[in-house]
């Protein structure tokens, strides 16, 4: 059974971080935070939202980044996370197929341009290229 994620109201989050609720509403309007809503339309912040808020506050308070800059940085972080996941998936694929790739390493290199090629291969190459014309 999946546990329901813990959520926090706007006033609880504002108190916890020492900011005004209007600041949270501004971050939402700017697209920096996207809290879910209850059936009564109350904003509900998750632990993930709070982590994102910590980054936003660190960038604005500690580093003096304006909200446009925060948006750019957050978007770049998301893209980097996506790229990291894609790289890890690709690396896992390479590891899973390492034996297949090793066969290519042990195979003789392809002939150089202008080198003699066995007749069968030469014919099939010519035939393919002439059918494209």
Q: What is the reported pLDDT for 98?
A: 85
Q: What is the reported pLDDT for 122?
A: 46
Question: Tens of pLDDT along 47-77?
Answer: 999 999 999 999 999 999 999 999 999 999 9
Domain 1-97 has CATH 1.10.1660.10: yes
Q: What is the reported pLDDT for 117?
A: 60
Give the integer Cα–Cα distance in Å for 128 and 82: 39
Above 80 in pLDDT, residue 125?
A: no
Domain parsing of the chain, residue ranges: 1-97
Q: What is the reported pLDDT for 4?
A: 74
**Which residue did the predictor score with more confidence, 68 or 127?**
68
């Amino acid at each position: 059974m999946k546990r329901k994620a813990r959520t926090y109201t706007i006033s609880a989050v504002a108190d916890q971080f020492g900011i005004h609720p209007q600041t949270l509403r501004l971050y939402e309007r700017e697209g920096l935070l996207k809290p879910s809503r209850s059936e009564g339309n109350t904003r509900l912040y998750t632990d993930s939202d709070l982590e994102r808020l910590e980054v936003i506050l660190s960038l604005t308070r500690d580093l003096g980044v304006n909200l446009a800059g925060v948006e750019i940085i957050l978007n770049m972080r998301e893209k980097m996370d996506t790229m990291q996941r894609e790289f890890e998936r690709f690396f896992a694929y390479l590891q899973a197929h390492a034996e297949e790739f090793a066969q290519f390493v042990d195979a003789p290199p392809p002939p150089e341009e202008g080198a003699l090629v066995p007749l069968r291969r030469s014919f099939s190459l010519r035939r393919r290229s002439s059918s494209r014309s």
